[in-house]
């Protein structure tokens, strides 16, 4: 089991051939074993679409429905436990989405598939 960050979600779902070998292997295992996605990643994708920085090739609602239909990822809602872990992280990084993804993974003791250097520098259990 693992947690995808937002960038890994986008690549896995839209351009899996762009994933580096270690991330691609992790995602193949995830497709068999399941994985997790913080709901904040849905928000981040939606913001990118809304700002014109990402073209999904389909309406945003359809993209989210497609992700859910795969049955591969359990989308974790952000609750007070995750927000408290987010705030407790000894990490000065100001991005609330990155902090929430790390908090989600940390609470479950799972690796994160991410290319994000600040996450990789802080959270030792990353795959890319």
CA distance 17 to 98: 24
Structure tokens belonging to residue 117: 């250097």
CATH code for the domain in which residue 12 is found: 3.40.50.1010
Whole-model pTM: value is 0.95
Q: Kindly report the average pLDDT of the chain as a whole number.
A: 97
Instruction: Compute the average pLDDT of residues 107-114.
Output: 98
pLDDT attached to residue 18: 92
DSSP labels, 3-48 = EE-HHHHHHHHH-GGGS-HHHHHHHHHHHHH-EEEEHHHHHHHHHH
pLDDT digits (tens, 9 = 90+) for 71-104: 999 999 999 999 999 999 999 999 999 999 999 9
State the total domains in the chain: 1
87-96: list long-range contacts, CB under 8 Å, 24+ apart: 89/122, 91/122, 93/118, 93/119, 93/122, 96/40
Domain region containing 81: 3-127
Q: Is 78 helix (H, G, I), strand (E, B) or coil?
A: coil
Model pLDDT, residue 39? 98
Phi, psi torsion values for 45, nearest 5 degrees: -60, -45
Q: What is the pLDDT of residues 36-57, one digit of tens each?
A: 999 999 999 999 999 999 999 9
Which H or E run contains 122?
Answer: helix 117-122
- Triad 46, 81, 115: Cα angle to 5°: 45
């Amino acid at each position: 089991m693992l947690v995808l960050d937002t960038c890994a979600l986008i690549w896995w779902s839209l351009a899996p051939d762009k994933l580096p070998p270690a991330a691609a292997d992790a995602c193949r295992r995830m497709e068999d074993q399941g994985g997790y996605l913080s709901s904040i990643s849905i928000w981040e994708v939606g913001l990118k679409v809304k700002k014109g920085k990402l073209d999904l090739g389909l309406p945003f609602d359809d993209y989210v429905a497609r992700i859910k239909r795969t049955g591969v990822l359990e989308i974790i809602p952000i609750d007070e436990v995750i927000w408290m872990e987010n705030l407790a992280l000894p990490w000065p990084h100001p991005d609330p989405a990155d902090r929430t993804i790390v908090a989600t993974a940390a609470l479950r003791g799972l690796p994160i598939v991410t290319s994000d250097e600040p996450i990789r520098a802080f959270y030792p259990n990353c795959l890319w």
